[in-house]
Copies of this chain bind each other. A is one copy, B any other.
Amino acid sequence: MTCFIVIGHLARTDEEWSLNDMPGSAGRMDVLSRCVNASLFLSHDLRRDVDCCLALYGGPDAPKTVKFSGRNVRYLNPDERSAGALLKKALGLRCGTTYRESTPGVFVRKGGLPELLWDHACVVLDVAGSDIRCADVLPDAYLLSDHLNFTEEERESIRDLPKYSVGPQALHADHTITVVLNEIDRRRPGWR
């Protein structure tokens, strides 16, 4: 099982935003929608062994975490609005500190990065890290930030985690996820 964790620093934790304006009114929810797409989609198939957890830090109910589970997600299409609609629905559901299923394979709970670091032995994806192609064993869980850098507090809490880079250029979070999954795909038995 592979898990991508993305921090949405401004992403709304309620449902009072428009699918027509995910970059603006929803606090760059478009970035997070693309991360869900990159984590879960193959051509005409889904990655059933991948989860994508979005830690949302915008708005009065922050933080909340929405998890998309490739194993049993439904009603998800590749366009940004589709993941956005499922996010909006999840954020409209009352929840506590344990995951509650909103639609099949989409879960929501209160809490953010500290709880996710408790759940997962993470590495951080960072352009200054070690080259992931040189890793002897690929990790199971990867932490990324949205369009903003990690905050001082976040940097402190991930200071001791291993850092990996996918290449010389700083990429968008969703593009980084795509490159990591390609490296994972290539290491499966049977490829060339």
Residues of chain A at the chain B interface (Cβ within 8 Å): 19-20, 22-23, 30-31, 34, 37-38, 41-45, 77-82, 131, 147, 166-172, 175, 178-179, 182, 185-186, 188, 190-192
Contact = CB atoms under 8 A, between A and B. Distances in A.
User: By CB atoms of chain B within 10 A, which of A20, A34, A147 has the most?
Assistant: A34
Instruction: Count copies of this chain in the complex.
Output: 2
A79 B44 contact: no
9 contacts: A20-B81, A23-B77, A30-B78, A34-B34, A42-B172, A78-B172, A168-B185, A178-B178, A178-B179
A182 B165 CA distance: 11
Shortest 7 CB-CB contacts between residues of A and residues of B: A43-B170, A30-B79, A168-B191, A178-B178, A80-B80, A175-B178, A167-B185
Nearest to A44: B170
Contacts of A19: 20
Contacts of A167: 182, 185-186, 191
A188 B175 contact: no
A41 B41 CA distance: 20
Contact of A190 (B20, B31, B168, B190): B168
A86 B33 CA distance: 21
B172 A185 contact: no
Contacts of A78: 23, 30-31, 34, 172
